[in-house]
Amino acid sequence: MPHFDVVIRGGQVVTDTEIIECDVGIRDGIVAELAPAIEGGDIVLDASGGVVVPGGIDGHCHIAQLSSFGVETADDFTSGSISAACGGTTTIIPFAPQQKGESLREAVEAYRQKADGKSVIDYGFNLIVSDPTSTVLETELPGLVAEGHTAVKIFMTYDAVRLDDRQVLNVLEAARELGVITMVHAENHDLIMWSTERLLKDGDTAPKFHAMAHPPESEREAVYRIIALAEAVGAEIMVLHLSAKEAIEEVRRAQARGVPVLGETCPQYLVLSDADMDRPGFEGAKFVCSPPPRGAANQEFVWRGIVDGVIQAFHSDHAGYRFDDREGKKVRGDDAPFNRIPNGVPGLETRLPILFSEGFHKGRIGLRRFVELSSTNPARIFGLYPKKGTITVGSDADIAIWDPTRRVTLSIDALHDNMDYTPYEGMEIDGWPVTVLSRGRLVWHEGEALGEPGAGRLLRRGEPQTAELRGPAHADDGRTTDNA
């Protein structure tokens, strides 16, 4: 009888393409066998009644990152990776951000050191390019891509990091030559600045005015423009954190005419709204992120983008700043004007439970689509497929077993990040991962975080494999109706 380190018995194994009742045999951190009844196993995990899925991949999160507000996000690679693992995620790809005037390679080196020996799950870095000099684009970037850092991120707003259109074109051209995707934060900077100036002049400083300073038109214009620039260059892009119906329309139109543009969204645009920024006192600051959560009616447009395939990836954009903290949301004071509140919300641990509960449980998406959005598509986009993003013989045993019947009331007390609040406090969630394995090691099991800092490896990623996940045609294949 073959030996297995771990056997997962009796679950429903879900990948992006199929749902099968079978056991999973794991040896040396790798899926070694999928079969109806696997004998043995040093550790046997009973998954009966459970859903066995590839561990989530969070390709957009900010960990130990110096933000454009000059403050570092609250989680380091240990708290961030533990929190991600406890929510069903087994790979994180935060950013290594280049500051203007700095070498990109040095930025990556600094983040490599920050992460070294700390993460409990595998990780990589996406490269924020804020100063695209010829040395960066012609020497540093090719070297870093060859070493497995195969995605670039650019900003169209935020003074500290934004690029002008000429610089954007240069980055897109370099990315196209290197065969990597450019992730884009798309908002019109001048429209934000213009709106902000007027709001502040009228004394409209409360957190809720952040939403008005970042109107949907600012997102629509920048999304339209980045698509046009990418189309001109022939480069592939992923528009990040799509929040507004207007921006999603631009992506949908571009995809329909065959432009290689991918869409991403995040939990905050499905379950938060501008009303949250209007909570009493400074409470609204907890929800300030960019783009902002829109009006509640907009949420269904984001769902539509998820269901019809315009949106291919669901990441957290975890950018946690503690609320009651001089190094967090209150860095410019207890009552700072909206434009001086660090932008970002936490979400590493709550990302997948929110998608599972609001998407699968409420019948909006099927389990295969859940897997596709949370794991398989990110694995393809970030050059990790099929080592990660699926459960097949030879893939890493990065696996989460979900109990679809478990009801959890979200509360900061039960989460594992380094935050002092969750924007989702009190929210009822149906379905939670009960066991999570990272390359066959238990990192979360029945309420206990078991990951070992340093066990996570820095991943050497390959080229993106996105050809088959583009476009609306992809959605219409039953993934929304397979609620087995």
Residues that bind ligand URP (CB under 6 A): 62, 185, 289-290, 317, 319, 343-344
Residue among 243 and 435 whose Cβ is closer to Zn ion: 243
Q: How far is the CB of 68 from ligand URP (least distance, A)?
A: 7
* DSSP-assigned states of every residue in 197-260: HHHHHTT--STTHHHHHS-HHHHHHHHHHHHHHHHHHT--EEE-S---HHHHHHHHHHHHTT--
Q: Indicate which single residue of 72, 250, 317, 349 sits in contact with Zn ion (rule: CB under 5 A).
A: 317
Residue 245's binding partner, choosing from ligand URP, Zn ion, none, with beta-carbon cut-off 5 to 8 A by kind? none
Residue 289's binding partner, choosing from Zn ion, ligand URP, none, with beta-carbon cut-off 5 to 8 A by kind? ligand URP
| Local structure of 330: helix, strand or coil | coil
In whole angstroms, what is the distance from residue 25 CA to residue 31 CA? 6
Give the number of other Cβ atoms within 10 Å of residue 203's Cβ: 9
Q: How far is the CB of 317 from Zn ion (least distance, A)?
A: 4
Q: Indicate which single residue of 105, 149, 162, 185 sits in contact with Zn ion (rule: CB under 5 A).
A: 185
Residue among 424 and 444 whose Cβ is closer to ligand URP: 424
Residue 4, CB half-sphere, CA atoms under 13 Å: how many?
25
The length of the chain, given as a count of residues = 484
Residue among 265 and 390 whose Cβ is closer to ligand URP: 265
Q: How far is the CB of 40 from ligand URP (least distance, A)?
A: 46
Q: How far is the CB of 290 from Zn ion (least distance, A)?
A: 6
CB-CB contact of 57 with 89 (8 Å)? yes
The residue with its CB nearest to Zn ion is 185
Residue among 22 and 319 whose Cβ is closer to ligand URP: 319
Residue among 96 and 289 whose Cβ is closer to ligand URP: 289
Residue 119's binding partner, choosing from ligand URP, Zn ion, none, with beta-carbon cut-off 5 to 8 A by kind? none
Task: Work out the burial of residue 193: count CB atoms within 10 Å of its CB; fewer than 13 is exposed, 13-18 middle, 19 or more buried.
Answer: middle
Q: How far is the CB of 313 from ligand URP (least distance, A)?
A: 14
Residue among 108 and 154 whose Cβ is closer to ligand URP: 154
Residue among 367 and 419 whose Cβ is closer to ligand URP: 419
Give the number of other Cβ atoms within 10 Å of residue 177's Cβ: 15
CB-CB contact of 404 with 363 (8 Å)? no
- Which segments of 302-372 are extended strands (E)? 313-314
Residue among 184 and 384 whose Cβ is closer to ligand URP: 184
Supply 137's token pair: 């684009």
Supply 350's token pair: 């709550």
In whole angstroms, what is the distance from residue 432 CA to residue 356 CA? 8
Size of the site for Zn ion (CB under 5 A): 2
Name the CA radius of gyration of the chain, rounded: 21
Q: How far is the CB of 401 from ligand URP (least distance, A)?
A: 31
Q: How far is the CB of 315 from Zn ion (least distance, A)?
A: 8
Residue 388's binding partner, choosing from ligand URP, Zn ion, none, with beta-carbon cut-off 5 to 8 A by kind? none
CB-CB contact of 19 with 400 (8 Å)? no
Q: How far is the CB of 415 from ligand URP (least distance, A)?
A: 19
Task: State the residues that interact with Zn ion by CB under 5 A.
Answer: 185, 317
